[in-house]
Structure 1
Amino acid sequence: MARARLDVKGATSVITGAASGMGAEVARSLARRGARLALVDRNGEGLAALATDLAGTGHTTHTVDLTDDAAVFALAQDIEAQHPQIQTLITCAGSSMLGDIDQLTMDEMRWLMDVNLWGTVNITKALLPALRRAREAHITHLVSIYGLAAPAGRIPYAMSKFAVRGFTESLRHELEGSRVTVGAIYPAGVKTGIILHGRFAASIDPAVAQRAANAQAAMYHTEPTDAAERIVDATVRRRPRTMIGREARLVDILTRVTPTRYWAPMRRPLREAIDTTTPFA
């Protein structure tokens, strides 16, 4: 059933990962449309700088570690107290991790799952009561092209993004018939620097990790401002599934056509980006 488009002017959007990258660009786009913003990140200085630059009024900043469940649920109460009309939640917070299964420790993989998966689940669960009270509301989760296809050398990242995809789709089904709709965004190659600023297994030579990160970043083509406009448009239109970038659309088709053999055509273009074992020359 088609849903009416949201009018974000004067209503509140909560954005995680707002201090930089995709979250900051989404915040700027929504501010230009007249939305009030609750900006969430662990980087308080970055949030303050962004809030100073934003158009409009009524924006608030909230510094929190999204891996701390108790802090996140307390944060939700604080946001609700300052924003009586929460209309949308857009989860942009996340990180990356380079390394293959032999290089990664369990703690390193758990850390990324905590950030990417549980940091998405807990803020969604904490704000869901407020979103249910809205006349109309929408939740947008940023997944990834690696929530469609799982490459070698990215096990914890792919695990976390497939899990976010599953959470998003299950939540969408649970909320059918309610006033809250849920959508997933699948970006491919947005030039935010996430891979360059992400983590890598401690057992990897930093020069080797940097080489792999540079190779991955060289494959990114979409400008953050363009991606942000697509994310905000998908939120306003309450779309359940949105691909950003040509590669995302191609991988979506590829995994549907050949769900067990899609890695063969992906391996070659990703060979340098997933190589964390060859010594640095």
Structure 2
Amino acid sequence: MIKHFNHAVVAITGAGSGIGRALAIRFAQENCHLALSDLHLDSVEETKQIIQSKARFKDLKITCQKVDVSDQQQVFDWAKYVFDTHGKVNLIINNAGVALSGTVAALEIKDYQWIMNINFWGVIYGTKAFLPYLEQSGEGHIVNISSVFGLTAQPFMSGYNASKYAVRGFTEALRQDLEISNSVVSATCVHPGGIKTNIAQSARISEKLSKLTGKSSQDATKEFEMTFLTSAEKAANTIFKAVKNNKRRVLIGPDSKLYDWSARLLPSSYQAIFTAVVRSRMAKKK
């Protein structure tokens, strides 16, 4: 775990927008040096410019890299670059992720491969690539972003659910491994609810799902965005506090707490409730 944040080196994937950008700004406030990556280099460089536009952050070392987290070699090369450039790494936040919506029958194998490669394998690559450097730092932490979809399953979200449940299982096992081996590194699994980011804009929505629900992909995206209750800044602050206090699991937003409550009190019957709600919405569209 990290005891000293001043001049710690924090690596963040998906740092070009949303939670990733907010996390970069939040850790900069703790005088942390930053290694930022994103699939879109221009967006992550914009994050750097936003931070360096404030005088008190001008002395922070901030590096930016274009990284596709679904590419193992790119992630491992980036981890080595961060260590070689900054001299150490104390925290990796595996934040980059995408969304996918459609029935199991409608989605193709390549759709599942796409989302698992980013949301799950990206987390494994980030963890494995940075863990040796975190160990060398003397105090380190791994933050993996799951979701409320890693707490309960939702209709039409099998791919997203699978990836986020996988992140949860992997991270919880990782935390135990680190504790048993008396590692200087710890791990936290984060379950955000609806966060005000652009993930809905980049989500893949099956055309067959639009026919089934009677909603266009544009309408589905707008409806999805209406569930976003928590700001990225608030989410970032909650994650920072979780790292500081070495929390195992973090729930972000009132909806996340509601889903967690549903899973605890109604471990199987919550599915019938969710199904009924979706059927009711679909009936209103017809």
Of 190, 194, 199, 2:204 maps to 199
1:97 is displaced (CA, Å) by 0.7
SS in 1 for 2:34: strand
d(CA) in 1 for partners of 2:35 and 2:84? 11
Most deviating of 117-126 and 200-209 = 200-209
1:85 is displaced (CA, Å) by 2.5
**Deviation digits for residues 28-60 of structure 1 (CA, Å, limit 9, x no counterpart):** 111112110000111100111111111422010
Most deviating of 181-190 and 251-260 = 251-260
Of 233, 252, 265, 1:257 maps to 265
Question: Structure 1, unaligned stretches of length 5 or more?
Answer: none
d(CA) in 1 for partners of 2:133 and 2:278? 42
In the other structure, the counterpart of 2:23 is: 26
d(CA) in 2 for partners of 1:30 and 1:169? 24
In the other structure, the counterpart of 2:138 is: 135
SS in 2 for 1:165: helix
Q: Does 1:150 align with 2:158?
A: no
1:246 is displaced (CA, Å) by 1.3
Contact 2:14 2:38 in 1 (8 A): yes
Alignment of 1:55-70 (within 5 A): 55=52, 56=57, 57-70=60-73
SS in 1 for 2:31: coil
In the other structure, the counterpart of 1:179 is: 184
Most deviating of 53-62 and 28-37 = 53-62
**Deviation digits for residues 126-147 of structure 1 (CA, Å, limit 9, x no counterpart):** 1110001122111111110000
Q: Which amino acid aligns with 1:49?
A: E
Q: Quick check: which one's helix share is greater?
A: 2
Q: Which amino acid aligns with 2:255?
A: E
In the other structure, the counterpart of 1:189 is: 194
Most deviating of 24-33 and 212-221 = 212-221
Of 102, 105, 108, 2:108 maps to 105
Alignment of 1:1-281 (within 5 A): 6-55=3-52, 56=57, 57-176=60-179, 177-201=182-206, 203=208, 208-267=216-275
Contact 1:104 1:202 in 2 (8 A): no
Contact 2:16 2:38 in 1 (8 A): yes
Contact 2:207 2:217 in 1 (8 A): no
1:205 is displaced (CA, Å) by 5.2
Return closer, same or farther for 1:120/1:272 CA change in 2, 3 Å cut-off: farther
Contact 2:116 2:159 in 1 (8 A): yes
**Aligned structure 1 segments of 4 or more residues deviating by more than 4 angstroms:** 202-207, 268-273
d(CA) in 2 for partners of 1:205 and 1:251? 25
d(CA) in 2 for partners of 1:264 and 1:272? 12
SS in 2 for 1:40: strand
1:114 is displaced (CA, Å) by 0.4
Return closer, same or farther for 1:31/1:168 CA change in 2, 3 Å cut-off: same
1:6 is displaced (CA, Å) by 2.7
Contact 2:14 2:37 in 1 (8 A): yes
Q: Which amino acid aligns with 2:218?
A: Q
Question: Structure 2, unaligned stretches of length 5 or more?
Answer: none
1:193 is displaced (CA, Å) by 2.4
Contact 1:147 1:186 in 2 (8 A): yes
User: When the two structures are aligned, how many residues end up with a matched partner?
Assistant: 274
1:267 is displaced (CA, Å) by 3.8
Contact 1:6 1:237 in 2 (8 A): no
Contact 1:98 1:209 in 2 (8 A): no
SS in 2 for 1:191: coil
Normalised by the size of structure 1, how large is the TM-score?
0.91
